[in-house]
Chains A and B, each alone.
Chain A
């Protein structure tokens, strides 16, 4: 353990993590009472020790649960106000889903990136050299316009779902009003944005609002300088890194040559700033209970949390965070943490909790299918724990229906042979070992070279449609995404956007996922699991379409098999796949029937052969690669108001409790724009909380 004294939070920079005991001892030796240390997590004061009847182990002004897209901005914002801030996270590193995201952030309302591009200017560091990608009019707006866009009742997508109709109004008024400030806040905290390019799903139809976070390739990884090495950014087809679990790809067309983008640029920038400012972190710590003065009344006082380390499978050593300055290394099984001003629940969503998510879609009680970032976040990620903890002390929920009708929540990613099918992580990041394979990434055209079967080996849909996802109604709009008039011609709030005639004209339903998740011959009481799905193909597929089936894209991990015959393939799957609960009894017959359809030139079962050539599956070896639906976005969670305060069933604020991002409900904007702004709002509100 480090012997370095930690008294002033600014001295936290670039020091090793310390244990709590050493930390307190050093503070005392320095002649500063632990209870009076400004800006630091402390031992509880004599007054605070038994507040609420709980024996507290730590005391802090603001406790943030979850170091992701809403947690980190909240933490920094609260720290800016001079408050002591501790962030706990169930994982061994920060970032949550933000770390493996694309770093695409839609704000608007006249945010700084829009204004910069409208003026034709670059960024202050000179990284953004390409000219603006949109005309000024396409980015010109104010927060009133943004609010109207983001709550437009009339807009439908091509599945006839209304993505903006059910947005909580107060919440989105606050969101719109804070978008410009949040963008500036991020830019002030080491986050670099490219040119505005289009708008992210759920970000509105009428204007271009999305910019992507990036860094510049350089000789060293230096967040302050805005650079990252090629090694840390990842090497295409070869490796990822602890810095970035997914390859950072070229952002040349949005910034300049040498720019690379994804959520690592956002995450590591915010991390650098948080640590620099003295935010402290405690990893491997999962919140299990919110402590309130009374079960359903009074102030939230703090949390109880237990120790959730993750270990390297080979070395058995505990996994550690990328950076460690400012970490508190607490290893006791259970601890309690007092939050004098506020607790921020930013624990992410519920996509990994089959019990919770099956409230929305019963077929997703199937445990075989996980949330995105399964390997990265570990078994406690996306587990709805924050939402459930809030419910237990009387919090209301909101937006629970918004999971449905959007392709951003549950869908089938175009990636085979890995359970963690959302992302294409390569070896290098410490969590690659928990998925073992990158997966075989397919384009739309690749599906002509395979058939897809359910847990008994029967086909269930036209394979060309399996991973097809229709676009969502965002800028530039247009019929392709369900909006009658494109670009600047779109009319907000116009009944013609959702007329029955228009719906008939533009509707493109695709129930491939629903067919995949349907009950089948193998579904048995009481759970009626739909079971695993398999892509079946042969050597001919590899020869024609050049699929990458060698490691690291596949592995001997139960999600990819090869065999000399279909019968031998069946035996391998049944023996080695953890969720193959029933015999794959139909597969041989399905393949035989498929081959006969190819001979006949038509597929009477699912209509293949009109959209792309069909190919027989006959040339050994034969392959089976798992098709894994994923629950990516979570919509629906704790009900919050425009200050990110959590509300109870009576609509009353629960004092001292805040939430944002996917732990909260009432909105369904995909991705980072929602969560980051919530965090900004929460931190701003917390700063005004009475001491």
Chain B
């Protein structure tokens, strides 16, 4: 059994509920619809037992997916959970499968950081720009603005946009603050444009 997990939030506030997706596939493409899987916390306790969806996930060959919603640990830091699925109870014997899940738990935010992404030359807003202020991540809205509620501290902010070169800056978050990221356009290369180098 092969497992994968995605859409895991990168900074989960302690004790709050969060969602992610878990997918499981049998190496031979067997039907896993409706099968149980378990979430195990760092101490080995079962957090929850859930069922995979009945249908193959669109765009895949034989992946069965579940949307998971659970409560985060109350202690901040990195927590290593496991998702496991048993191999028994199927027509043909299967080996069990497991995957480690990294749950990053942070304290309650103190401040709001506003990041404005703009085209450096045009000074126009860049929507859907990716903003990483580790461990926080978000994207800008239609006005090129992203807001992150974060704990106080020193952060590097990286901003990248579709067909834009990434920009970076460092900030110390003590109170609410606003910062602007000016991005340069990245030219997609054709080999003719390579000739211009």
A interface with B by C-beta (< 8 Å):
100-102, 104, 198, 200-201, 246-247, 249, 261-262, 372, 407, 413-415, 422-424, 441-445, 448, 467, 469, 471-472, 538-540, 544-546, 563-568, 592, 595-596, 599, 601, 609-614, 616, 618-621, 670-671
**What are 27 A-B residue pairs whose CB atoms fall within 8 Å in the complex?**
A102-B192, A102-B196, A104-B196, A198-B196, A246-B191, A372-B191, A442-B189, A443-B187, A448-B166, A546-B162, A564-B2, A564-B25, A564-B60, A564-B61, A565-B2, A565-B4, A565-B25, A601-B134, A611-B166, A612-B166, A613-B137, A613-B159, A614-B132, A616-B6, A618-B6, A619-B21, A620-B63
Docked Cα-Cα span, A596 to B193, in Å, equals: 36
Contact B25 A424 (CB under 8 A): no
Find B163's partner among A443, A611, A613, A671 (CB 8 Å cutoff). A443
Is there an interface contact between B191 and A448, defined as CB atoms closer than 8 Å? no
Whether A619 pairs with B162 at a CB distance below 8 angstroms is no
Docked pose: A601 CA to B133 CA in angstroms: 9
Task: Report B-chain residues with C-beta under 8 Å of the C-beta of A249.
Answer: 190, 192
Across-interface contacts of A100 in B (CB, < 8 A)? 191
Provided the pairs A613-B160, A616-B6 are in contact, do residues A444 and B186 lie with their beta carbons within 8 angstroms? yes
Is A612 in contact with B158, judged by CB distance below 8 angstroms? yes
**Counting CB contacts under 8 A, is B45 at the interface?**
no
**Inter-chain pairs besides A413-B194, A443-B186, A565-B63, 20 sampled, C-beta below 8 Å:** A102-B191, A246-B192, A247-B190, A262-B192, A441-B190, A443-B188, A445-B186, A448-B160, A469-B197, A539-B59, A546-B162, A563-B61, A564-B60, A567-B2, A601-B134, A613-B130, A620-B23, A620-B63, A621-B59, A670-B195
Q: Report the Cα distance A424→B2, complex, angstroms.
A: 36
Question: How many whole Å from A542's CB to the nearest CB in chain B?
Answer: 10
Given contacts A102-B192, A564-B63, A568-B25, whether A613 and B6 have CB atoms under 8 Å apart is no
Does B10 lie at the interface of the complex (its beta carbon under 8 Å from any beta carbon of A)?
yes
Which residue of chain B has the shortest Cβ distance to A592 in the bound complex? B100
What per-residue 1/0 map shows which CB atoms of B140-178 lie under 8 Å from chain A? 000000000000000010111111111010000000000
**Are A424 and B186 neighbours in the complex by a CB distance under 8 Å?**
no
- Chain B nearest CB from A417 CB (Å) reads 15
B residues apposed to A, CB below 8 Å = 2, 4-8, 10, 21, 23, 25, 27, 57, 59-63, 78, 100, 102, 104, 130, 132, 134-135, 137, 156, 158-166, 168, 186-197
A442 and B188 contact, CB distance less than 8 A: yes
**Chain A positions within 8 Å of B186 at CB level:** 443-445
Q: How far is the CB of A612 from chain B (nearest CB, A)?
A: 4
Among A467, A469, A568, A596, max chain B CB count under 10 A is at: A568
Contact, CB under 8 Å: A599 / B102: yes
Cα(A614)–Cα(B135), bound, Å: 11
Which of B102, B161, B191, B197 makes the CB contact (< 8 A) with A596? B102
Cβ–Cβ contact A414 & B189, under 8 A: yes
- Contact across chains for A599 and B191 when beta carbons are under 8 A apart: no
A residues less than 8 Å from B61 (CB atoms): 563-564, 568, 621
Minimum C-beta distance from A604 to chain B (A): 14
| CB contact between A200 and one of B78, B187, B195 (< 8 Å): that residue | B195
Whether A445 and B165, one on each chain, are in contact in the complex, defined by CB atoms closer than 8 angstroms, is yes
Report chain A residues within 8 Å CB of B5: 618
Determine whether the beta carbon of A613 is less than 8 Å from that of B189.
Answer: no
Give every chain A residue within 8 A of B137 (Cβ-Cβ): 613
B27 cross-chain contacts in A, Cβ below 8 A: 567-568
Give every chain B residue within 8 A of A414 (Cβ-Cβ): 189, 194
In the bound complex, what is the Cα–Cα distance between A448 and B158 (angstroms)? 12
B164 close to A620 (CB less than 8 A): no
CA distance A621 to B4 in the complex (A): 10
Contact of A621 (CB < 8 Å), options: B60, B191, B195: B60
In the complex, the answer to whether B130 meets A544 with C-beta atoms within 8 Å is yes
Contact assessment for A610 and B25 in the assembled complex, using a CB-CB cutoff below 8 Å: no
A613–B132 CB distance below 8 A: yes
- Residue of A with least CB distance to B195: A102
Q: State how many angstroms separate the Cβ of A331 from the closest Cβ of chain B.
A: 34
A198 to B10 alpha-carbon distance, docked (Å): 47
Question: Contacts A564-B63, A601-B134, A611-B166: A618 and B188 contacting too (C-beta < 8 A)?
Answer: no
User: Which of B21, B60, B193, B197 touches A407 (beta carbons < 8 Å)?
Assistant: B197
Residues in A with CB closer than 8 Å to B21 are 619
- How close is A241's CB to chain B, nearest CB, in angstroms? 16
Contact yes or no, A613 B4, CB < 8 A: no
Bound-state CA distance A596–B5 (Å) is 13
CA distance A444 to B23 in the complex (A): 31
User: Which residues of chain A are within 8 angstroms of B135 by Cβ–Cβ distance?
Assistant: 599, 601
Hey, which chain B residues are within 8 Å of A566, CB to CB? 2, 4
- Select from chain A the residue with minimum beta-carbon distance to B3: A565
> How near does chain A come to B191, taking the closest CB pair, in angstroms?
5
Cβ–Cβ < 8 Å partners of B102 in chain A: 595-596, 599
Q: Which residues of A contact B132 (CB under 8 A)?
A: 613-614
Complex Cα gap A567–B135 (Å): 28
Please, how many angstroms separate the alpha-carbon atoms of A414 and B188 in the complex?
9
